[in-house]
């Protein structure tokens, strides 16, 4: 059996950034050294995919890993609780269940037969944390009940992301808490535990994972089953309960930045997209559908339903399915856009119609649209009665994107486009995806209608600001940053808001200089383009577009101001500022 006394605890390398943080943050060398323990990385189905240090599994975006929670009852039916030591690196001073930790990457603790590995780990930690002799807790007296998947953030640096195996045992034991691990203990009955859960004024903070167990899973049947093997076995449900992000259960929790928040769920969304797009029986079609996905992408739209949902309600994996569906649709539109715009490069690689061929690219885009809706309706965590409304809203989004694209096509042959027409076009091509991601994230998370509409309004404003800033970035950033020549929109004659504003100005030398380069395409030299950009500036058109972008930016923040503040709001506000910061 893996144990501390023998020095047989498996360890893994800790990332250098985490090592530096531990050195600066922890004054307890014992706690810091234990962060090198090798825990088990798992996928959403609790399948082991590797090992990772305990430190890295909890740092910043963290990594989903296997854990266990022991509920130890005595012969009087009272449950042992522990208050975590005040010097614990993660979640210090909170009250939790009897013992909670991780099975390690050893042969014994990875044994999944009858949950033997987590039971061995539980015996190890009961001794290490509470001084409970292994001789007083028989492995056969542990009852594995169920699993739950959750995440809970403490602050920007530390997070719990676990599939927690819940064990029950009844035993009369001698408890000698290790002060390095445990600050205090208490034994409670059902009524006393309920009182702890509902006492909002209490200074006793309950760990989010234990609140999930006690408030969402543990019912009267659990208490009645104490000491009864048959009753305990009847409680086993074979499920992984999806608790989502429960950071809001920790009163003093602090949120993380946008990138960290995206990275928490991005791998799960990527996996959903890959599973869906590679399920095709035709290898070439699957390759064409995956071509842009392999090219990368920030996945902002994909993660937005989750980011919004956790800010205003209860999260679950259905939000990731919605994100994966919308991201698949977004990439489908890019495949077809590149064909319509005759663009050969996307994300630094050949466009799909160049890498494969035109008919295959069109077919791949069509298939991606169908697959996106398949992903949505097959989601295990979206209620069946909610599917029609979700399908309707996403279908509306696709129609609006198509309408926006059609306007963009028509604008290419028109001498003049009005500001209202331009805003209608970018609302369809860009902003409605942000709107729908935010709206559905709030709705599926259970927010009320006022909050849903507020976030839809926020998403629309963010999307409009995003596109206006993208136009500005084209003329104000350098080519290396853009990944394409500066001012390419000017050379191509695109009627952006800047150009529309400039063309509405009285005739002048600056306007003539702009007209001389506008739409000259390959004939435009670098000096011509730069002079055209200078003309836009002289006409006040760059300042006008920046001002309009700032209006939408300020309105987006005003929408967030109408909502309760919380840890998850940090990421939404950073997303609101994202494009503006690129030109700050």
What digits encode the pLDDT tens for the residues 372-409? 999 999 998 899 899 999 999 999 999 999 999 999 99
What are the pLDDT digits (tens) for 473-527?
989 876 555 455 678 889 889 999 999 999 999 999 999 999 999 999 888 899 9
Residue 160 has pLDDT above 80, yes or no: yes
Q: Residues 175, 185: contact at Cβ < 8 Å?
A: yes
What are the pLDDT digits (tens) for 60-81?
999 999 999 999 999 999 999 9
* Mean predicted confidence (pLDDT) in 567-584: 90
The pLDDT-based confidence of 5 (bands split at 50, 70, 90) is very low
- Supply 75's token pair: 């012969």
Three-state SS for 254? Answer: coil
What are the pLDDT digits (tens) for 253-295?
999 999 999 999 999 999 999 999 999 889 999 999 999 999 8
Maximum distance among all Cα pairs of the chain, rounded to whole angstroms: 93
The pLDDT-based confidence of 4 (bands split at 50, 70, 90) is low
What are the pLDDT digits (tens) for 341-361?
888 888 888 999 999 999 999
- Supply 35's token pair: 């962060």
Per-residue confidence (pLDDT) for residue 376, from 0 to 100: 94
Element (H, E) at 141: none
From residue 231, give the alpha-carbon distance in Å to each of 112, 225, 235: 22, 5, 7
What is the distance between the alpha carbons of residues 190 and 215, in angstroms, rounded to a whole number? Answer: 11
Q: Residues 89, 230: contact at Cβ < 8 Å?
A: no
What is the distance between the alpha carbons of residues 173 and 179, in angstroms, rounded to a whole number? Answer: 18
Q: Residues 160, 183: contact at Cβ < 8 Å?
A: no
* pTM of the predicted structure, to 2 decimals: 0.93
What are the pLDDT digits (tens) for 456-471?
999 999 999 999 999 9
Per-residue confidence (pLDDT) for residue 1, from 0 to 100: 47
Q: Residues 529, 537: contact at Cβ < 8 Å?
A: no
Which of these, 454, 438, 246, 460, lies nearest to 323 by C-alpha position?
438
Element (H, E) at 334: helix 318-341
Which of these, 90, 68, 70, 67, lies nearest to 82 by C-alpha position?
70
Q: Residues 401, 279: contact at Cβ < 8 Å?
A: no
Per-residue confidence (pLDDT) for residue 3, from 0 to 100: 55
Q: What percent of the chain has pLDDT over 90?
A: 84
CA angle 20, 60, 274 (to 5 degrees): 130
What are the pLDDT digits (tens) for 91-141?
999 999 999 999 999 999 999 999 999 999 999 999 999 999 999 999 999
pLDDT, the chain, mean: 93
Which of these, 81, 92, 83, lies nearest to 183 by C-alpha position?
83
From residue 308, give the alpha-carbon distance in Å to each of 238, 378, 439, 565, 572: 30, 22, 8, 13, 7
Q: Which residue has the tokens 């101001």?
A: 561
Residue 6 has pLDDT above 50, yes or no: no
What is the distance between the alpha carbons of residues 361 and 344, in angstroms, rounded to a whole number? Answer: 12
What is the distance between the alpha carbons of residues 452 and 442, in angstroms, rounded to a whole number? Answer: 5
Strand 240-245 to strand 48-53: parallel, antiparallel, or no bridges (unpaired)?
Answer: unpaired
Q: Which residue has the tokens 């608790």?
A: 243
Task: Name 521's Cβ contacts closer than 8 Å, sequence gap at least 6.
Answer: 491, 492, 493
Residue 15 has pLDDT above 90, yes or no: no
Per-residue confidence (pLDDT) for residue 17, from 0 to 100: 84
What are the pLDDT digits (tens) for 20-57?
888 776 667 788 888 999 999 999 999 999 999 999 99
Ordered structural domains, the chain, with CATH: 16-249 (3.90.79.10), 255-447 (1.10.600.10), 449-563 (1.10.600.10)
Q: Which residue has the tokens 């050379």?
A: 491
């Amino acid at each position: 059996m893996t144990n501390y006394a023998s020095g047989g605890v498996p360890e893994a390398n800790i990332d250098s950034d985490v090592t530096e943080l531990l050195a600066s943050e922890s004054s307890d060398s014992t706690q810091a050294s234990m962060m090198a323990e090798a825990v088990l990385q798992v996928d959403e189905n609790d399948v082991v995919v590797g090992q990772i240090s305990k430190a890295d599994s909890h740092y910043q975006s963290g990594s989903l890993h296997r854990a266990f929670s022991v509920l130890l009852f005595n012969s009087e039916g009272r449950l042992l609780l522990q208050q975590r030591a005040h010097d614990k690196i993660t979640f210090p001073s909170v009250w939790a269940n009897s013992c909670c930790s991780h099975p390690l990457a050893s042969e014994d603790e990875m044994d999944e037969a009858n949950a033997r590995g987590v039971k061995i780990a539980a015996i190890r930690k009961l001794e290490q944390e509470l001084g409970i002799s292994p001789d007083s807790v028989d492995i056969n007296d542990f009852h594995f009940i169920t699993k739950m998947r959750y995440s809970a953030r403490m602050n920007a640096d530390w997070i719990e992301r676990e599939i927690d195996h819940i064990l029950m045992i009844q035993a009369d034991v001698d408890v000698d808490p290790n002060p390095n691990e445990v600050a205090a203990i208490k034994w409670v009955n059902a009524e006393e535990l309920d009182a702890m859960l509902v006492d909002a004024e209490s200074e006793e903070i309950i760990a989010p994972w234990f609140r999930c167990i006690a408030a969402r899973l543990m019912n009267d049947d659990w208490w009645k089953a104490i000491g009864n093997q048959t009753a305990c076995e009847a409680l086993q449900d074979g499920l992984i309960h999806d608790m989502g992000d429960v950071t809001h259960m920790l009163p003093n929790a602090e949120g993380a930045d946008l990138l960290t928040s995206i990275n928490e769920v991005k791998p799960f969304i990527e996996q959903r997209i890959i599973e869906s797009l590679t399920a095709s029986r035709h290898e070439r079609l699957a390759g064409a559908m995956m071509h842009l996905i392999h090219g990368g992408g920030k996945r902002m739209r994909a993660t937005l339903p989750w980011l919004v949902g956790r800010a205003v309600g209860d999260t679950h994996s259905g939000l990731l399915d919605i994100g994966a569906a919308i991201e698949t649709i977004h990439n489908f539109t890019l495949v077809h856009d590149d064909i319509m715009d005759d663009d050969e490069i996307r994300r630094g690689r050949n466009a799909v119609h160049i890498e494969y061929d035109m008919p295959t690219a069109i077919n791949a885009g069509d298939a991606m649209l169908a697959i996106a809706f398949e992903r949505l309706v097959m989601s295990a965590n979206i209620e069946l009665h909610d599917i029609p409304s979700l399908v309707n809203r996403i279908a509306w989004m696709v129609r609006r994107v198509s309408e926006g694209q059609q306007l963009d096509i028509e604008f290419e042959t028109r001498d003049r486009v009005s500001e209202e027409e331009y805003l209608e076009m970018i609302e369809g091509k860009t902003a409605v995806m942000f709107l729908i991601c935010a709206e559905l994230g709030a709705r599926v998370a259970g927010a009320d209608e006022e909050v849903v509409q507020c976030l839809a309004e926020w998403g629309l404003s963010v999307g409009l600001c995003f596109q206006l800033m993208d136009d500005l970035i084209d003329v104000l950033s350098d080519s290396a940053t853009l990944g394409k020549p500066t001012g390419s929109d000017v050379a191509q004659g695109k009627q952006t808001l800047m150009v529309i504003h400039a063309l509405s100005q009285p005739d002048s030398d600056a306007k003539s200089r702009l007209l001389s380069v506008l739409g000259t395409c390959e004939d435009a030299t670098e000096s011509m383009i730069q002079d055209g950009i200078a003309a836009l500036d002289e006409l006040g058109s760059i300042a006008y577009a920046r001002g309009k972008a700032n209006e939408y930016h300020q309105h987006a923040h005003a929408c967030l101001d109408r909502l309760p503040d919380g840890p998850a709001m940090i990421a939404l506000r950073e997303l609101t500022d994202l494009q503006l910061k690129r030109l700050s």
